[in-house]
Amino acid sequence: MTDRTVYVIGIDGVPPRLLDEARSGGFVENIDHLKTIGASGTTKTVVPPLSMAAWSSFATGRDPGGHGIYNFMLRKEGSYDTKFADGNIIHQNSIPIWDYLDERGIKSGVMNLMPGYPPSESDGFHIGDLVTSSQSSEFMYPPELKDTVEQNVANYELYPYSPYTPDKSEKDLQNYLSDLFKMERIRMGTGKYLINEKDCDFYTYVFSGSDSILHCLAHIRDEDHPHHEPELVDKYGKKPLELLEMYDEFIGWLFEQSNEEDVIMILSDHGHSSVYHQINLNSWLYNNGYLELKPGIETSLKVVGYNYVYDAFESVLHKLGLFSKLKNLVATSDSEGESKKSLKDLVTISRFDYDWDETTAYTIASGGQIYLNTQKNHPLGWITEENYDSIRESLREELLSIRHPDTGEFVIDSVYYGEEIYGSEHSETRPDLAALPSNNYQIQYPQTMKTNEIFSTPPKPGNHTSEEDRNGIFVAAGGGSDGADVEMNIEDFAPTSLALLDIPVPSSMTGNAREDIFNLDAESKSYDGRVIAKRAVRKVSKKLRK
């Protein structure tokens, strides 16, 4: 065992070009310094480049097929129902790095890493992420940590801001920025406090303000954006760089207090770009004969109801604060949830209206992943092994030929086969195709479908779903790190961190301990069973203590 501490700092959603801009503008002197003494380059992330799947691959050292977290929304095995990704699922499906460390008696400290709720109970501390945790839930482990942080740092608020969109006022923008920066200052303070107080050998913190600010301010920085607000450029155009400057202060502090054995790695889980246009994939599948709705008067009522009447009373729902409630009911209810059916039956077209006997392909989440209705993995699937390839191939070709009606541009840039990008450990719920949009396009899955609306305006000016957005940043110092323009894979961080701590790399990890970037002597070993046994022990002991 070494005296080394490994720090991995995630700055969510930062594209390499933004870091370059920050460097040339003098916003990130500390990161710049690490770059000169260590290694730098890019981090290649998962398909599609979405945080939930990316951070899961980061934590487990496996591609999404290895942990089954393909997206924020997941398909339930052998069913058409869906569920949100959460901390339980990643632990059930796979083994994150902190469990391997825990098995070796090594403490780890984790803050704001998706999916972080419920927080892991491995040795050290674990603070849940801002998507899966809610303020009233017990999102910190150990539970008393919440009070400790509040007494010594500040009240840790998971989500204290209301995101800015172009339809809001400048005052709203100011409030958003002030709340966001304050949230990040408290996260940094919490992170520093816990590094000082807890004796962990591995820390991983994710700062997500960068992702939010790029979602919300993309149109201010991009003068070609259809929603560009030129009058805001001078005052707010540099805000993302100022946020990086704030993170840079934290990196500087980290470097100051570290010793020469220690290793600091900085990454982002994906890039970010402006989005101008959106394709609603379920509506496209419907209009192109891949997705069928149930025949009969009830469904036709809804087709009319949702497409037309719904537009008319959407504003009423908004006023009554009921709009998000409706969407939530549709997003999360199961087909068994009889009590909820009446509402959905009245107004919305959702997956409950699909005619599964006639449906060829469907999607359950944004990001371009498509499932074929196969006999093998679906209750009412009809696609057999014999016709699978030809159906998939013709769908793939059709996707690649979609053009936007206004711009004439190709909407989809590439379509991957599921087995090409995802391992087979969770193949029962593995998407059959994954389409990535062209630059400035977004592939969306509205929970409720307007059958006549294939193309629409994206809900946020910035997003990350294209091939280009698969590139994040990478900077490292310590551990013999060396090299410019190196390419880390998001799955490499866990095995590399383990090897840096002189711990064998589990053979179940698909990522690599990067001996070409760090000074490592990585040993590969199969020991997942030990981790599973340790978990069982922890569970039983907990019961006994009660």
Partner 1 sequence: MQAKEEYLEEYDRLADNLSGFKNGSELMDYVLEKTLVELNKETDISEKSSLNEESVQERLQDLGYME
The site for partner 1 (CB under 8 A) is made up of: 50, 72, 83-84, 86, 88, 117-118, 130-132, 134, 136-137, 159, 163, 211-212, 215, 297, 300-301, 304-305, 308-309, 311-313, 316-317, 320, 322, 324-329, 331-334, 339-340, 342-343, 346-347, 366, 442, 444, 446-447, 458-460, 462-463
Instruction: Tell me whether residue 76 or residue 525 sits nearer to partner 1 (CB atom).
Output: 76
Instruction: Tell me whether residue 11 or residue 97 sits nearer to Zn ion (CB atom).
Output: 11
Q: Coil, strand, or helix at residue 354?
A: strand
The sign of the torsion formed by the CA atoms of 316, 318, 323, 325 equals negative
Query: Least CB distance from residue 421 to Zn ion, whole Å?
Result: 18
Instruction: Please tell me whether residue 51 binds Zn ion under the rule CB under 5 A.
Output: yes
CA gap 536, 399 in Å, rounded: 46
Instruction: Tell me whether residue 298 or residue 389 sits nearer to partner 1 (CB atom).
Output: 298
Given a contact cutoff of 8 angstroms between Cβ atoms, the answer to whether 101 and 503 are in contact is yes
CA gap 495, 497 in Å, rounded: 5
Select the residue whose beta carbon is closest to Zn ion and give its number. Answer: 51
The sign of the torsion formed by the CA atoms of 120, 125, 129, 130 equals positive
Instruction: Tell me whether residue 107 or residue 294 sits nearer to partner 1 (CB atom).
Output: 294
User: Residue 441 to residues 225, 411, 461, 513: CA-CA distances in angstroms?
Assistant: 12, 7, 11, 35
The site for Zn ion, by CB under 5 A, has a size of 5
Tokens of 445: 């899955």
Query: Least CB distance from residue 257 to partner 1, whole Å?
Result: 32
> At 255, phi and psi to the nearest 5?
-65, -45
Which listed option, partner 1, Zn ion, none, makes contact with residue 327 (CB within 5 to 8 Å by class)? partner 1
Given a contact cutoff of 8 angstroms between Cβ atoms, the answer to whether 193 and 146 are in contact is no
User: Which parts of 320-406 fold into alpha helices (H)?
Assistant: 323-332, 338-347, 385-400
CA gap 65, 53 in Å, rounded: 10
Which listed option, Zn ion, partner 1, none, makes contact with residue 174 (CB within 5 to 8 Å by class)? none
Instruction: Tell me whether residue 196 or residue 328 sits nearer to partner 1 (CB atom).
Output: 328
User: Residue 202 to residues 9, 13, 108, 169: CA-CA distances in angstroms?
Assistant: 11, 22, 5, 43
Bridge-based pairing of strands 433-437 and 455-456 is unpaired
Instruction: Please tell me whether residue 13 binds Zn ion under the rule CB under 5 A.
Output: yes
| Residue 369 exposure: Cα atoms within 13 Å on the Cβ side | 26
Tokens of 59: 């934590």
Instruction: Tell me whether residue 401 or residue 457 sits nearer to partner 1 (CB atom).
Output: 457
Which listed option, Zn ion, partner 1, none, makes contact with residue 347 (CB within 5 to 8 Å by class)? partner 1
Instruction: Please tell me whether residue 12 binds Zn ion under the rule CB under 5 A.
Output: yes
Instruction: Tell me whether residue 88 or residue 174 sits nearer to partner 1 (CB atom).
Output: 88
Instruction: Please tell me whether residue 56 binds Zn ion under the rule CB under 5 A.
Output: no
Query: Least CB distance from residue 17 to Zn ion, whole Å?
Result: 16
Instruction: Please tell me whether residue 81 binds Zn ion under the rule CB under 5 A.
Output: no
DSSP state of 42: E
CA gap 36, 16 in Å, rounded: 16
Which listed option, partner 1, Zn ion, none, makes contact with residue 459 (CB within 5 to 8 Å by class)? partner 1
Query: Least CB distance from residue 437 to Zn ion, whole Å?
Result: 17
Residue 137 pairs in a beta bridge with none
Which listed option, Zn ion, partner 1, none, makes contact with residue 12 (CB within 5 to 8 Å by class)? Zn ion
Residue from 86, 262, 269, 469 touching Zn ion (CB under 5 A): that is: 269
Q: If residue 497 lies in a helix (H) or strand (E), which one and from where to where? A: helix 493-500
Query: Least CB distance from residue 134 to Zn ion, whole Å?
Result: 19
Which listed option, partner 1, Zn ion, none, makes contact with residue 457 (CB within 5 to 8 Å by class)? none
Q: Cis peptide leading into 142, omega within 30 of 0?
A: yes
Query: Least CB distance from residue 203 to partner 1, whole Å?
Result: 24
207-236 residues in contact with Zn ion (CB under 5 A) are: 211
- Cα 141 to chain centroid, rounded: 22
Place of tokens 């990086």: 244
Which listed option, Zn ion, partner 1, none, makes contact with residue 446 (CB within 5 to 8 Å by class)? partner 1
Query: Least CB distance from residue 81 to partner 1, whole Å?
Result: 11
Which listed option, partner 1, Zn ion, none, makes contact with residue 269 (CB within 5 to 8 Å by class)? Zn ion
Instruction: Tell me whether residue 101 or residue 131 sits nearer to Zn ion (CB atom).
Output: 131
DSSP state of 492: G
CA gap 44, 357 in Å, rounded: 39
Instruction: Tell me whether residue 345 or residue 528 sits nearer to partner 1 (CB atom).
Output: 345
Instruction: Tell me whether residue 42 or residue 51 sits nearer to Zn ion (CB atom).
Output: 51
Place of tokens 């260590």: 38
Residue 267 pairs in a beta bridge with 10, 474
3-state DSSP helix/strand/coil % of the chain, to nearest 5: 40, 15, 40
CA gap 517, 373 in Å, rounded: 43
Instruction: Tell me whether residue 30 or residue 333 sits nearer to partner 1 (CB atom).
Output: 333
Which listed option, partner 1, Zn ion, none, makes contact with residue 308 (CB within 5 to 8 Å by class)? partner 1
Query: Least CB distance from residue 255 to partner 1, whole Å?
Result: 31
Interface ranges with Zn ion (CB under 5 A): 12-13, 51, 211, 269
